[in-house]
Amino acid sequence: MEKAILLWLSKKYGNLQLFQHPKHSNNILYFKEKKLIININQYNKHIGINMDIFNFISTFFELDYFETDKVLHKWVKENYFKESKMIMSLTYIKYWENEYNSIL
């Protein structure tokens, strides 16, 4: 089932728009249609994933928290940030989305 989830993630979120804020160079943000999907903190190597995606995968594929975390972490490491240490819930979504939209 992991392969199917990874394929789905890559198909749905494989072409995210990279955004690096000029004032917050430590954070790398990935958006899709002005919605924040991934926040990478380069300093502590933590990854924030949009909780809508986390919850969808958990519910749709009937995975527990740890199984969902594992597959999302694998997908991020393979596609966006190989040095990732852990996945966290994405905080400050509205802040980053507003920053992104104000610069574009």
Give the pLDDT confidence of 51-90 residue by residue, as tens digits. 899 999 999 999 998 899 899 999 999 998 777 777 666 6
> Six-digit token pair at 3?
């392969």
pTM listed for this prediction = 0.80
State how far the Cα of 13 lies from the Cα of 95, in Å rounded to an integer.
Answer: 21
Packing angle, helices 65-79 and 2-13, rounded to 10: 50
99: which residues sit within 8 A by CB, 6+ positions away? 21, 24
pLDDT of residue 24: 80
Is residue 85 a contact partner of residue 73, using CB atoms and an 8 Å limit? no
